[in-house]
Amino acid sequence: MTETPDRPCYTHPLEILWQDEDMVVVYKPAGWLVHRTAIARHETRFVLQTLRDQIGQHVWPVHRLDQGTCGVLVFALSKEACQKLAACFADHTAHKHYLALARGWLPDTVEVDYALQPDDAPEDAPAQPAQTLLRCLAHLEWPEAYDPRHASTRVSLVEAFPKTGRRHQIRRHLKHESHPIIGDATHGKGPLNRWWAERIGLHRLWLHAHALEIPHPRTGQVLRFCADWRQLAHVPEVQQWQQLLAVPGWQATERGLPESCGTLLPTAAST
């Protein structure tokens, strides 16, 4: 059965996090495609075309986010800037920071080095090197069992730092570690996704491109762009994440949440 995520209704322009003569950085809503594609003819919401019309000039996509993923997305405002920015993703001088809700209790730190075969490649195509750093920020133990072998059901709030840029890398690496992302219809567990959706009242892919560091295409200065929840409290997905973290029972690890989440969770030592 195809899972249809909750799709917030946007009645306002795209949130612009940064803009100068070379680049523009926006908050991508969940459920939107970056640009039109022949394999999704039924879709009507595209960041590229909406942003182009919003700022009144041509924009070039520098990288991609999955349709269900929300967060920081960069566009160039010239071909030259696009080439330089895209090169930063190719040579891994662009550093990405994601947040995810994952099944089970992830260990404090996990270094995943697991090669991934391209999704659309032939079966005999070689796998490509892929590395992701995963760190656990908080745990939640729901006092009801999804699996009858256990007395409760657990999830973790995870931050992910992909060192390479393979398609669906974070989603596939968390699945490889037996901690798939909640709401991931492709790499997760459909019945478990629906079970959690019923309990927290939201059905979506719980993956958020929270921040990005990248050298400026003209000056080379390293800039950090963050989808700061304190500044985006009116954005539907941010409200959904805050609703999730307001569920009773969360306990933060010693690392705690980034300040940009605007949320403090109790630690084991404080409870």
pLDDT of res. 35: 79
The rounded distance, in Å, linking the Cα atoms of 266 and 34 is 37
List per-block mean pLDDT (blocks of 10 residues) for the chain, which spans 271 residues. Answer: 47 87 97 75 80 96 94 98 97 97 97 90 86 98 94 97 94 97 94 95 95 97 97 94 95 96 82 52
Q: What is the pLDDT of residue 267?
A: 85
In CATH, the architecture of 15-258 is 2-Layer Sandwich (3.30)
Annotated catalytic residue: which of 66, 91, 119, 120?
Answer: 66
pTM (two decimals): 0.92
pLDDT of residue 1: 38
CA dist 68 and 202 (Å) reads 13
DSSP secondary structure string for all residues of 14-30:
PEEEEE-SSEEEEEEPT
Alpha-carbon Rg for the chain, nearest whole angstrom, is 19
Tokens of 200: 């927290």
pLDDT attached to residue 12: 61
| Domain spans of the chain, in order of start | 15-258
66 belongs to the catalytic site = yes
* Distance, CA of 263 to CA of 122 (rounded, Å): 45
Per-residue pLDDT, 37: 66
* pLDDT at residue 260, as a whole number: 96
